[in-house]
Amino acid sequence: MASQGIQMPPGTEVPDIPYGLAVFRTLPYAFILPELIFGAWVWILVAATKVFYSLTQGWVMYVAVSSFLFSLILLMVYVFGFHRNSSGSWRIVDVIYHGITAIFYLSAAVLQANATIVCNNAIATGGCTVTIYHLDAAASVFAFVTTLLYVLHSFQSYVQ
């Protein structure tokens, strides 16, 4: 029995994932660079703060660092065109990776916002400084922006 795949209407073509510098000019792949930049800011800002709950901000650091490394690897795969040498569907990999990372980043952003609230409450008792509070607040904002970028990337990849 022959397996039947999905039939595309005549004249339609699934666009290919770009490679080289075209990655930076094509949506959703142009989101990778801002994801890296904002994710690095989350990483830097959390590393610069006083950690009140190591489990909470440890998860934030884990998500920020691992997402940064995996996104950088994915960007290098696209820029150097390694995805063109395989027969697998890199679109599915792209959608799944960015979708899962968006969920992880959302959880990290919520936990970082919680750490900011705890720091705000600890300012009165002297357990936290205003500078650390501002760093935590900035890390929370960047974490939510990074979450939005990963969601947009995953959605755009899915729609194409």
* Residue 117 CB partners (closer than 8 Å, separation 6+): none
142 within a domain of the structure (yes/no): yes
131 within a domain of the structure (yes/no): yes
For 7-57, write each residue's pLDDT tens digit: 444 544 444 766 666 666 777 777 788 888 999 999 999 998 877 778 888
CA 139 from chain center: how many Å? Answer: 14
Confidence of residue 93 (pLDDT cuts 50, 70, 90): confident
Higher-pLDDT residue of 83, 145: 145
120 within a domain of the structure (yes/no): yes
23-58: burial string, b at 16+ Cβ within 10 Å, e else: beebebbebbeebbebbbbbbebbeebebbeeebbe
3 within a domain of the structure (yes/no): no
Report residue 56 as tokens: 């909470």
pLDDT value of position 120: 87
Tell me which residue range forms the domain holding 87.
27-159
Instruction: Reply yes or no on whether the pLDDT at 77 is more than 90.
Output: no
pTM over 0.75? The answer is yes
11 within a domain of the structure (yes/no): no
Confidence of residue 64 (pLDDT cuts 50, 70, 90): very high
112 within a domain of the structure (yes/no): yes
96 within a domain of the structure (yes/no): yes
pLDDT value of position 75: 86
> How many domains does the chain divide into?
1
73 within a domain of the structure (yes/no): yes
Give the mean pLDDT of the chain. 81
